[in-house]
Amino acid sequence: MRRRFTLALVAIWLAVFAPSVNAQSDSRQEWEQVLAAAKREGKVSVLGPPQVQARDVLTGLFQKKYGIEVEYLGRLGRMVATGVLTERRAQRYLWDVYIGGTTTGITSLAPAGVFDPVEPALILPEVKDPKEWRNGVIEFADRARLQLVFSPYQRGTIFINSKMVKSREIRSHKDFLDPKWKGKILLDDPRKPGPGQGTFLFFYLHPDLGVDFIRALGKQNPVLLRDYNQELDALGQGRNPILVGTSDASAEQRIRQGIPIEIVDPRQVKEGSDINPANGALGLVNRASHPNAARVYINWFLSKEGQTAYVQAMGYVSNRLDVPTDHVPSWRVPKPGAIKTYTEEALEAKAPLARLITEVFGR
């Protein structure tokens, strides 16, 4: 009887745990093979954000850990798209990994056939297990699942001069429609790409705001500017008490300098704010010059180590659940159900939004 019971336990263990053990063993073997091949290639070529702190994280740590050189080019999204497509027309395939915004990938790179699917490149168990990621899924920005989203965070969209306005006064975006704010609200011009346009995309997509709110806001005669520094100067100097849709990273820099600017906590605003990853999407470039090094790089970057270093340097929030968030204000952590302004579906709303913005603010 005892022997039969023991055999039954062994059978249960084999049925439950053996597949997992075998899978881990297979992953280790695959990883060792890919890593050895990557070291023979000796280099990985990465297209990334232009910020110095991004360059430092995306090169030095990986090179030190694996002894594989990182060739890095930091560029704004529009420059990345122009450069890559020009190279490809000349039959030059220079890059292995893309790290940047979803707009560039969805509107320019993916339609030109630049990406291969990322998922087959995921090897490490801590990277490919959905349970390690927010909401139990590995998130992609597009329907074809070519751009993996790793750092969506809650945006700050409302900025006030703290000497002129108390944050508790702002409980809804519809508060801006009060006649007392007519002619006093400053906007980052939504007719150009940038955070102002992203904020208006949030307005457009929000079921409680939408077209009617945008038209009503236009009737408040807001002041439109196109330069973050000018916008924050006007706010900090008190020429305008409220600013909507500027760069929250630039605003945080001014706040650290002691300028009387405050970012209104979106958790206190009825409609909240949108989620956006900024330079928080990853793509695997096809026809890669260093395909094995690219796989090693992607797995390192999406690991706890890589994600922690990157989001802390950039002030982002990782989609990995094991990456700390204590380096950012608590309101930055994505709120479940918040509107996403970076997905393929959201970007498809940009064309009708552009027509509406032209109607409201002119060209």
**Model confidence at 123: pLDDT above 90:** yes
Q: What percent of the chain has pLDDT over 90?
A: 89
Q: What is the chain's alpha carbon radius of gyration, rounded to the nearest angstrom?
A: 24
Q: Residue 328's pLDDT is what? A: 95
Cβ–Cβ under 8 Å, residues 281 and 101: yes
**Model confidence at 232: pLDDT above 80:** yes
236-266 confidence digits (pLDDT tens): 999 999 999 999 889 999 999 999 999 999 9
5-39 confidence digits (pLDDT tens): 555 554 554 555 555 556 567 789 999 999 999 99
DSSP for 290-347, please give it: SHHHHHHHHHHHTSHHHHHHHHHHHT---SBTTS--TTS-GGGSPPTTPPBSSSHHHH
- Model confidence at 121, in pLDDT bands (50, 70, 90)? very high
Collapsing DSSP states into helix, strand and coil, what is residue 159? strand
Of 157, 176, 191, the residue nearest 265 (C-alpha): 157
Element (H, E) at 69: strand 69-74
For residue 352, give both structure tokens: 């009708």
Q: Residue 44's pLDDT is what? A: 98
Cβ–Cβ under 8 Å, residues 242 and 231: no
Q: Residue 346's pLDDT is what? A: 97
Measured in degrees and rounded to the nearest 5, phi and psi for residue 294 equal: -65, -40
Of 84, 80, 88, the residue nearest 54 (C-alpha): 80
As a whole number of angstroms, the distance between CA 293 and CA 41 comes to 7
268-309 confidence digits (pLDDT tens): 999 999 999 999 999 999 998 999 999 999 999 999 999 999
DSSP for 128-149, please give it: H-GGGBGGGS--BSSTT--SEE
Average model confidence (pLDDT) for the chain?
Answer: 93
Fold for 2-152+277-332, please state it: D-Maltodextrin-Binding Protein; domain 2 (3.40.190)
Least confident of 20-29, 310-319, 352-361: 20-29
Q: Residue 12's pLDDT is what? A: 57
User: Residue 299 class from Cβ within 10 Å (0-12 exposed, 13-18 middle, 19+ buried)?
Assistant: buried
Delimit the domains of the chain by residue range: 2-152+277-332, 156-273+347-361
Of 12, 292, 325, 343, the residue nearest 146 (C-alpha): 343
Architecture of the domain whose range is 156-273+347-361: 3-Layer(aba) Sandwich (3.40)
Of 300, 303, 333, the residue nearest 320 (C-alpha): 303
Of 347, 309, 348, the residue nearest 151 (C-alpha): 309
For residue 281, give both structure tokens: 């999407």
155-196 confidence digits (pLDDT tens): 999 999 999 999 999 999 999 999 999 999 999 999 998 899
Strand 158-161 to strand 153-154: parallel, antiparallel, or no bridges (unpaired)? unpaired
Whole-model pTM?
0.88
Q: Residue 1's pLDDT is what? A: 57
**Model confidence at 79: pLDDT above 90:** no
In this chain, the answer to whether the domains covering 2-152+277-332 and 156-273+347-361 adopt an identical fold is yes
As a whole number of angstroms, the distance between CA 319 and CA 152 comes to 7
Cβ–Cβ under 8 Å, residues 201 and 341: yes
DSSP for 184-226, please give it: TEEEE-TTSSSHHHHHHHHHHH-TTSHHHHHHHHHTT--EEES
Q: Residue 117's pLDDT is what? A: 97
- Model confidence at 76, in pLDDT bands (50, 70, 90)? confident
User: Residue 179 class from Cβ within 10 Å (0-12 exposed, 13-18 middle, 19+ buried)?
Assistant: exposed
**Model confidence at 138: pLDDT above 80:** yes
